[in-house]
């Protein structure tokens, strides 16, 4: 396999090695098209306007030593000749890639701040786009989310919070007596038991528009949706369909209201990748529904709704939605995901700052995060987790019995029955004809 390497970068020259490539095509371009010529005083050396290139050969390729003034031109000629624009840096057996912290002290990388709450000013947040917290499992994403929600509540914000089944909302509800409303789906035996004075209200999960209408009455500042805990494991598409309907109804509601009625709302979506990520099998939606979820997330900003979400990787969210994210909170990231994030957001950095920032993001403790603003400026912050009081909490009941249940009518023989599976097509039990359902 052909590869191109940078073996050494010195102050005045760079040494390349081209494994599996022939030197002759590059030589012809340099001599015939770009004005280089053989240096009569030095063997295997080309010269042009006082600049020098020397070359040497191995059995499996050739070396190229380029003086720095000619480096840009040679890069372009190499890409034109071989289609190469990236070079590998091989690791020698006697070489350890350990960062010299003393040597990197002068590199402009994040300063550690402790006044994290200055970031959560509701007026400033309302003027920017959406916000995302990203990081690996157990990096502290949900902890930072509930800490941020608490600060927004202290600043008199209206909050709608999606609990993904972990019950983290109860740590906040402990501090806001008579200010918390929890929405749970209607169904036989469905109930939420919690050792706090919260208002529990039921809703029709197939028509969740009532949630949005009640939230905008603003009688409770902290509104929580607990749905995932009651979802039927035999109908895995139930969760995806519910949040698709909720977002659809939210956009429809907001588009009908005057701007004066659109009070600033923080919509906190824990583990948004469960809903929006196309590879989440259990939350699978049709392509049309996935596209609509992306559309709603993107358009809510026009209606004074700010999405505050957590996700494992920004790439799990659609590019349409990512383009609306102004505030990024980076927790500890996995290696490959870190490179992708840095490449997209810190491309103008010098390489040593890039490497040092990579080390920080992949090793920092759960109480730290990197905040990246809309101009892609960033700093490192430290925050304390909110106290987590012991609160009795239990979700009882499962929605839908054996399954959600849909009326099926055979187009061939007219036989009608209740289909309780979650697929979008089945067969008639009488004539075996295909029966298709409208997908969401």
- Say if residues 387 and 143 touch (Cβ distance below 8 Å): no
Residue 166, SS3 per DSSP: coil
**Closest to 375 (Cα-Cα) out of 151, 210, 128:** 128
> What span, in angstroms and rounded, lies between the C-alpha atoms of 434 and 429?
10
State how far the Cα of 436 lies from the Cα of 430, in Å rounded to an integer: 15
Q: What is the CATH number of domain 112-396?
A: 3.40.50.300
Q: Is pLDDT above 50 for 280?
A: no
More confident residue, 411 or 85: 411
Residue 195 and residue 238: Cα distance in Å, rounded?
28
Radius of gyration for the chain, computed over Cα atoms and rounded to the nearest angstrom:
29
| 3-82: CATH architecture | 2-Layer Sandwich (3.30)
Overall average pLDDT of the 234-251 stretch: 84
| pTM metric for this prediction | 0.68
Checking if the pLDDT of 16 tops 70, the result is yes
Q: Per-residue pLDDT tens for 357-376? A: 787 888 888 888 888 877 77
Selection from 340, 345, 350 nearest residue 327 by Cα: 345
Between 49 and 385, name the one with better pLDDT: 49
Q: How confident is the model at residue 97 (pLDDT cuts 50, 70, 90)?
A: very low
Phi, psi of 45 (to 5 degrees): -135, 135
Q: Tens digits of per-residue pLDDT, 326-351?
A: 888 999 887 667 777 777 766 555 56
Report which DSSP code applies to 292.
Answer: H
Cα 68–chain centre separation = 39
**Strands in 274-433 per DSSP E:** 305-311, 325-330, 368-372, 378-382, 393-396, 406-409, 416-419, 425-427
Q: Which helix (H) or strand (E) holds 58?
A: strand 51-58
d(CA 114, CA 383): 6
* pLDDT score of 151: 85
Question: Chain-centre distance of CA 149, in angstroms?
Answer: 19
Instruction: Report DSSP letters for 198-214, one per residue.
Output: -EEEEE-TTSTHHHHHH
């Amino acid at each position: 396999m052909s590869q191109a390497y940078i073996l050494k970068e010195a102050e005045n020259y760079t040494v390349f090695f081209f494994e599996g490539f022939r030197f002759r095509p590059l030589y012809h371009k340099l001599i015939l098209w770009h004005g280089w010529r053989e240096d009569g005083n030095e063997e295997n050396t080309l010269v042009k306007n006082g600049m020098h290139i020397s070359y040497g050969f191995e059995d499996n390729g050739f070396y190229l030593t380029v003086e720095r003034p000619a480096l840009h031109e040679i890069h372009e000629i190499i890409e034109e000749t071989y289609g190469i624009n990236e070079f590998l840096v091989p690791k020698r057996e006697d070489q350890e890639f350990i960062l010299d912290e003393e040597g990197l002290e002068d590199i402009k990388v994040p300063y550690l701040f402790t006044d994290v709450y200055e970031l959560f000013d509701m007026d400033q947040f309302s003027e920017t786009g959406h916000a995302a917290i990203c990081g690996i499992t157990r990096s502290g994403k949900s902890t930072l989310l509930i800490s941020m929600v608490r600060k927004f509540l202290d600043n008199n914000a209206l909050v709608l919070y999606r609990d993904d089944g972990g019950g983290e909302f109860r740590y906040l509800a402990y501090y806001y007596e008579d200010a918390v409303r929890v929405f749970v789906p209607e169904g036989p035996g469905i109930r939420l038991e919690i050792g706090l004075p919260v208002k529990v209200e039921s809703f029709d999960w197939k028509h969740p528009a009532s949630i949005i209408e009640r939230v905008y009455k603003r009688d409770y500042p902290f509104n929580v949706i607990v749905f995932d805990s009651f979802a039927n494991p035999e109908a895995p598409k139930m969760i995806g369909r519910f949040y698709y309907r909720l977002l659809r109804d939210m956009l429809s509601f907001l588009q009908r209201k005057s701007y004066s009625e659109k009070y600033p709302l923080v919509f906190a979506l824990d583990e948004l990748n469960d809903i929006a990520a196309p590879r989440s099998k259990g939350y699978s939606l049709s392509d049309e529904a996935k596209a609509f979820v992306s559309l709603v997330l993107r358009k809510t900003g026009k209606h004074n709704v700010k999405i505050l979400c957590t996700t494992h990787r920004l790439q799990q969210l659609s590019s349409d939605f990512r383009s609306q994210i102004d505030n990024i909170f980076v927790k500890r990231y996995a290696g490959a995901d870190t490179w992708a994030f840095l490449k997209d957001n810190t491309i103008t950095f010098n390489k040593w700052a890039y490497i040092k920032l990579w080390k920080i993001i992949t090793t920092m403790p759960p109480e730290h995060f990197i905040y990246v603003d809309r101009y892609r400026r960033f700093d490192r912050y430290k925050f304390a987790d909110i106290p987590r009081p012991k609160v009795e909490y239990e979700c009882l009941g499962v929605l839908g019995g054996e399954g959600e249940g849909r009326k099926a009518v055979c187009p061939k023989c007219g036989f009608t029955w209740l289909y309780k599976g979650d697929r979008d097509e089945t067969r008639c039990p009488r004539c075996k004809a295909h029966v298709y359902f409208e997908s969401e």
